[in-house]
Amino acid sequence: QVRLVESGGGSVQAGGSLRLSCAASGSIASVLTMGWYRQSPGNQRELVAEIGIDGSTMYADAVKGRFTISRVNANDTVYLQMNSLKLEDTAVYYCNVEFRRYSGVVVTGWGQGTQVTVSS
């Protein structure tokens, strides 16, 4: 079984910072692309940032220059450093991990979600 455990969410004032973490464990042959999504009430889940196996990154326009995605610990952990947080960043953030099972099949897993609330 594969488990994705998120941590780091919470409440912060506008302009503050938070760092989200997502650790993958279980029956994983190799981790491929890792990313963060978010969803707020009335909106669809949207991609915030992702990082490829080669370290290449992509960010949504709304977070460029403020958020940084990284991966460490043999690529089993992905972080999202969030700086200069704005009210519109308030959402539930979900870790997403694309990985290859030992059978060779590539699948995608989701974390349980962690609430980020930004207040004035």
What is the separation of C-alpha 22 from the centre of its chain, rounded to a whole number of angstroms? 7
pLDDT tens-digit map of 26-58: 999 999 999 999 999 999 999 999 999 889 999
Residue among 43, 71, 48 at smallest CA distance from 58? 48
Tokens of 55: 């370290």
Q: What are the backbone angles phi and psi of residue 26, rounded to the nearest 5°?
A: 120, -155
Instruction: From 26, 24, 23, 22, select the one nearest 102 (Cα to Cα).
Output: 26
Using 50, 70 and 90 to split pLDDT, how confident is the model at 5?
A: very high
pLDDT above 90 covers a percentage of the chain that reads 92
- 32: part of which helix (H) or strand (E)? strand 30-39
Task: Identify the pLDDT of residue 1.
Answer: 83
